Structure 1
């Protein structure tokens, strides 16, 4: 019989497992900057009020479902412990069944820096091994700039990142981020983007 586990638990940040392959390192840097500007009491309050949704997987390992950027930023800032909100205990499943359930529940995003899907074993074992996807940084910055609305759709920012991937060259993104952001804002308001979560454009008249 499975034993009940507490919903809110404390865990070592370095031992948490990601459920995606990439992050936008620019977004991580911005979160680090914000954290560095907080006082001791503000940091304590932030950690007390911010929890990571997680799944308990095989071998009693915790897999976080969200806030990978914040988690990596905290890790790089030397934070040791965070709070998890346990969503489900799947520790009794074998690894193959575990990843099947994770996939069907939209709790995993096994897509690389080129936007293509990879095997589950390509997902890093630790937060510090997450790869940088500049298009994810662009999508995150665009949302902060009001280019689209925050949406509850799982991995919505990655959908936007993939939309820009073949519309904005990597050269522009690497060498003139502001120019790329201006172009992204225009594209985000276009009819092409109306299928994306949080789209704030105007539906064209028939």
Structure 2
């Protein structure tokens, strides 16, 4: 790896997650994209997709984004990646560290059923991230135009929780040809555009409220 200003080369296995789950179908898609790249293209991809991270206890880097990419690169046996350090909280320990991380919206301790868990449930390696099929669904729906990308952290997790009671889990099972069934994506896109989802980040549907009537004088 060539040295780059403000970027730190780190062993992928040393990165620490700040969430419990990823969408397995999204990870599979990123793996498929990676396998199509030639060596130079892979190097450029790693340089362009660095991991934003906070230096935490023990000097470890806790990544606050790109968990899906991290898991995909791990599955593809990539060893070294680039990190952009956002802050240094290495002098803070235990619960206080995680409370600070959550305060800054750098941690999301919710499991694959949308339940809040103790910070200790967050895995210590990207290889241990759990699969939440609804997180995959949320990502595929956004890519299909069901809602707009939003700058708010963890927006896709809010959408995943919205779809959780509306789309049966059995409808999200992969097949030999689809990592996530298109029928489930189409249904969720329609659900995302309904007024019931209007409070979610990036909603781009049509409100059920009547158009305002111009006042007469």
TM range (shorter): over 0.9
Q: How does 1:31-180 map to 2 (within 5 A)?
A: 31-174=30-173, 177-180=181-184
Could you give the per-residue CA deviations for residues 111-143 of structure 1, whole angstroms, max 9, x where no partner exists? 001101000000011001000000011111111
1:19·1:107 contact (CA, 8 Å) conserved in 2?
yes
CA RMSD of aligned residues (A): 1.3
Distance 1:72 1:169 in 2: 26
Deviation of 1:19 after TM superposition, in Å, equals 0.4
Match of 2:215? none
Deviation of 1:157 after TM superposition, in Å, equals 0.7
TM-score, normalized by length of structure 1? 0.94
1:54·1:64 contact (CA, 8 Å) conserved in 2?
yes
Could you give the per-residue CA deviations for residues 139-161 of structure 1, whole angstroms, max 9, x where no partner exists? 11111111111111101111110
Question: Any unmatched runs of 5+ in structure 2?
Answer: 175-179, 211-217
Matched, 1:183 2:187: yes
Give 3-state SS (helix, strand or coil) of 1:87's partner.
strand
Deviation of 1:50 after TM superposition, in Å, equals 1.6
Q: Which structure has greater helix proportion? A: 1
1:7·1:87 contact (CA, 8 Å) conserved in 2?
no
Deviation of 1:204 after TM superposition, in Å, equals 3.0
Deviation of 1:94 after TM superposition, in Å, equals 1.7
Give 3-state SS (helix, strand or coil) of 1:148's partner.
coil
Give 3-state SS (helix, strand or coil) of 1:63's partner.
strand
Match of 1:3? none
Distance 1:78 1:171 in 2: 31
Deviation of 1:179 after TM superposition, in Å, equals 2.1
**Structure number, greater radius of gyration:** 2
Match of 2:207? 203
Deviation of 1:203 after TM superposition, in Å, equals 2.7
